[in-house]
Amino acid sequence: MRACYPGSFDPVTLGHLDIIERAAPLCSHLTVAVIHNPSKKTLFSLAEREEILRQQLAHLDNVSVAHFTGLLVDYVAQNDIRAVVRGLRDSSDAPIELQMARLNREMQPACETLFLAATGKYSHVSSSFVREIARLGGPIGQLVTPEVARRLQQKLESKEAL
């Protein structure tokens, strides 16, 4: 079964990587699909987010990285994808995730949403907290890989120089 894991990945965290590593063996192919929403401001550009993901996922044979604009259900239909993988951190993720899953299934009945429960030690990790802690000079070594931490520092320094 071909599946995709959509998200902003601004930047990819250890929580995302955990979901990807656990989902990959369950599918024939997993596409990590970066959401490109030109009206939403991100710290890393689309090209940077994709590049970082490719580097972080190079060890996984059946995982690729792509991006999409517009509706996820259209992307799914165009790419013969049968399942959307999402991670659930806690009960506050549930209402919006369930709403999206139900809306997507109404629009595209052939595609199911599969939820993986976040691993306990990553259930508090989010890209927005990682960006905020990094911006304030706090430690992010438990939240992202060393390479992502390096990229974040570089990005924040380049922004300060502006």
Tokens standing for residue 133: 């802690």
Tokens standing for residue 23: 């989902």
Q: % helix / strand / coil in the chain, to the nearest 5?
A: 45, 20, 35
CB of 10 to ligand ADP, least distance (A): 7
Smaller CB distance to ligand ADP: residue 19 or 108? 19
* Extended beta strands in 2-128, E state: 2-7, 29-35, 63-68, 83-88, 112-117
Q: How far is CA 146 from the centre of its chain?
A: 18
- Residue from 31, 42, 108, 127 that binds ligand ADP (CB under 6 A)? 127
For position 56 contacting ligand ADP by CB under 6 A, the verdict is no
Smaller CB distance to ligand ADP: residue 64 or 126? 126
Smaller CB distance to ligand ADP: residue 109 or 120? 120
Site map for ligand ADP, 76-95, x if CB under 6 A?
Answer: ----------xx-x---x--
> What's the Cα-to-Cα distance from 46 to each of 34, 79, 116, rounded to whole Å?
8, 20, 25
Residue numbers at the binding site for ligand ADP (CB under 6 A): 7-9, 13, 15-16, 19, 35, 86-87, 89, 93, 118, 122, 125-127
